[in-house]
Amino acid sequence: MSGDGSLEWLRREGRIVVVGASLAGLRAAETLREKGFAGSLTMIGDEPYEPYDRPPLSKQVLLGVATADGTALPRRRALDATWRLGVAATGLDMAAGRVRLADGDEVPYDRLLIATGVRARPWPRPEEAELDGVFVLRTRDDSTALARRLAEGPKRVFVIGAGFTGSEIASACRERGLAVTVAERAAAPLVGALGGVVGAVAAELQREHGVDLRCGVMVTALEGDAAGRVRAAHLSDGATIETDVVVVSLGATRNTEWLAGSGLGAGPRGIACDAGCRAFDIRGIVTDDIYVAGDVARSPHPLFGYQFLSLEHWGNAVSQAEIAAHNMLSESADRIPHMWVPAFWSSQFGVNIKSVGVPSMGTEIVVAQGSLTDRRFVGVYGYQGRVIGAVAFDHARWLPFYQELIETTAPFPPPFPMVDRRPDGQRPMDADFPDPSVPTHGPTVTLSGYSPADRRMTFTPAH
């Protein structure tokens, strides 16, 4: 497709369809226009709303200091797009180049970007999930409904799952003065993403803020009253928690069902794509006209042994969207790889938590700065003698340094003196991640599969 003018034609009058009208979809569309795409642009989204920002939904909105309808994403530029909002995509015909919609319409494309993201994993028993007072939290509507219920002053909120979202919900509830019980299957909150050493700090933090935290337990049943309102939760240790609001926070499911049978390499783990965001078909052949970005994508990362990473991170969605858009409009020699170093943040119980790299690949951790007892520290994760990730509690300003260590595969533990490195910070500990074969709510970084190549490469950021 190079040299024959087809790219010129695409830029001038081609048809680009973006399925998924959230952060990744919007930023990709804006990048397309910025790079001079003058053809037709169609944005398809199953929610009736224009693109909005999700991080505030589990924080400011639940605190009542912002409303869910006030989180629309700022626009970088005018899009001149056709918006098909409130209509889900239900199928893909790769051969004909068409997306089928729930209302029966078909939208033809010359290039397709899939950014359908993830949705909250529901409570597995539908009859219990439908009880009044049982919530999940992912969308603007979810957040509005939960915030309204919290404002009514429930007697107790019960959160299932102490991952980042569950912990943030518990934090918001405590800040509103509501009684909260959190049930977590693992030994501590956040262990899937950050391991047991840091999880223990998170557990202390929750308890100190008055959360009734129950770890190492499963929820066996949710019980409703005669009117169909939830009234209690039963735990595997025999305990019963009386509650009138339950928030199910068990991680996310990737929105790929609509691609079943399409021939695209899509499944429960996401849509496999190359480092240039081009989707693989089920034969493992990379497509030329279908691109993927955001939470739904899985792509190989040279820095992490070419494992396919899928990252539910805000910054990743933006970066991947921009690269997908760039590559869509570029000759193969001008394409750029998506080599974003994973990073995410959370804010809970007055603490800013931020991480870079892939902590969950780490086997050891060392507290390089500050101290766990103060709950202000940088924890550095090691994997096979190199630095693979870092997490900061109220210490985020140092993280660019650790990102450089990760990018340059620096030795672990870091051998040099640093400001505020304590005697304890010389000694690596077992990072204490749970056995990956035991299911949990899921970390925010998942690793799955390997590429055939196993070369080491020197990774240098685009300075």
Partner 1 sequence: MTRSLLHEILDYANRADPYPLYEELRKTPVHHVDDGAYVVSTYYEIRSLLHDPRISSEARHLASTAHDPLAAAAQEEDGVLPPSFLRLDPPEHDRLRRMTNRPFGPPHSPHRVDGMREELHGIVSDLIDGIGDPGRIDLVDQFSYPFPVTVICRLLGVPREDEARFHSWADTIAASLDPDPDADPAERGKEAHEARMQLGMYLAGLIEQRRKNPRDDMLSALATAEGPDGAMATMELLSTAALLLIAGHETTVNLVTNGMLTLLRNPDVLRRLRADPRLAVPVVEELLRFEPPVQLLPQRTPLADIEVRGVTIPKGASLWLVLASGNRDPQRFENPDRFDPDRRDIQHLGFGSGIHSCFGAPLARLEAQLALSELARRLDNPRLLQDPPPYRQNAVLRGPRHLPIACDGIRP
**How many residues are listed for the chain in this entry?**
463
Q: How far apart are the first and last CA of the chain?
A: 31
- Token duo for residue 330: 């570029």
Do residues 27 and 322 make contact, with C-beta atoms less than 8 angstroms apart? yes
Of 103-111, 219-227, 230-238, 412-420, the window that binds partner 1 (rule: CB under 8 A) is 412-420
215 counts as binding partner 1 under rule CB under 8 A: no
Whole-number Å distance between alpha carbons of 167 and 55: 13
Residues in binding contact with partner 1, number by CB under 8 A: 20
423 counts as binding partner 1 under rule CB under 8 A: no
For 113, the enclosing helix (H) or strand (E) is: strand 111-114
- Token duo for residue 162: 């102490």
342 counts as binding partner 1 under rule CB under 8 A: no
Q: Rule CB under 8 A: choose which of 177, 285, 416, 454 binds partner 1.
A: 416
For residue 33, give the nearest of 440, 271, 262, 325 by alpha carbon: 325
Nearer to partner 1, 437 or 460 (CB): 460
83 counts as binding partner 1 under rule CB under 8 A: no
Ramachandran class of 63: left when φ > 0, alpha when ψ lies in -120 to 50, beta otherwise: alpha
419 counts as binding partner 1 under rule CB under 8 A: yes
- Residues between 365 and 384 with contacts to partner 1, criterion CB under 8 A: 368-370, 374, 376, 378
Nearer to partner 1, 248 or 399 (CB): 399
223 counts as binding partner 1 under rule CB under 8 A: no
- The answer to whether the Cα torsion of 327, 27, 35, 111 is positive or negative is positive
To the nearest whole angstrom, how small is the minimum distance from the Cβ of residue 382 to partner 1?
A: 17
Q: Rule CB under 8 A: choose which of 5, 48, 216, 350 binds partner 1.
A: 350
- Token duo for residue 233: 């939760």
To the nearest whole angstrom, how small is the minimum distance from the Cβ of residue 252 to partner 1?
A: 28
Nearer to partner 1, 370 or 389 (CB): 370
Nearer to partner 1, 59 or 254 (CB): 59
Q: State the Rg of the chain over Cα.
A: 23
- Residues between 385 and 404 with contacts to partner 1, criterion CB under 8 A: 397-401, 404
To the nearest whole angstrom, how small is the minimum distance from the Cβ of residue 109 to partner 1?
A: 30
Ramachandran class of 141: left when φ > 0, alpha when ψ lies in -120 to 50, beta otherwise: alpha
- What phi and psi, each to the nearest 5 degrees, are found at residue 4? -100, 10
Q: Rule CB under 8 A: choose which of 268, 417, 423, 452 binds partner 1.
A: 417
284 counts as binding partner 1 under rule CB under 8 A: no
Q: Which residue has the tokens 């539908």?
A: 126
Of 115-123, 131-139, 277-285, 410-418, the window that binds partner 1 (rule: CB under 8 A) is 410-418
Nearer to partner 1, 261 or 415 (CB): 415
How many helices (H) and strands (E) would you count in the chain? 9, 30
176 counts as binding partner 1 under rule CB under 8 A: no
DSSP string, 315-379: HHHHHHHHHHHHHHTS-GGG-----PPPEEEEEETTEEEEEEE-GGG-SEEEEEEEETTTTEEEE
Nearer to partner 1, 61 or 297 (CB): 61
Do residues 461 and 407 make contact, with C-beta atoms less than 8 angstroms apart? yes
Nearer to partner 1, 76 or 229 (CB): 76
Do residues 360 and 448 make contact, with C-beta atoms less than 8 angstroms apart? no
To the nearest whole angstrom, how small is the minimum distance from the Cβ of residue 401 to partner 1?
A: 5
To the nearest whole angstrom, how small is the minimum distance from the Cβ of residue 377 to partner 1?
A: 10
452 counts as binding partner 1 under rule CB under 8 A: no
Nearer to partner 1, 112 or 356 (CB): 356
- Token duo for residue 168: 């943030």
Q: Rule CB under 8 A: choose which of 47, 420, 426, 451 binds partner 1.
A: 420
Nearer to partner 1, 268 or 400 (CB): 400
For residue 180, give the nearest of 198, 200, 160 by alpha carbon: 160
Q: Which residue has the tokens 């893909």?
A: 92
Chain residues that interact with partner 1, rule: CB under 8 A: 350, 368-370, 374, 376, 378, 397-401, 404, 416-421, 463
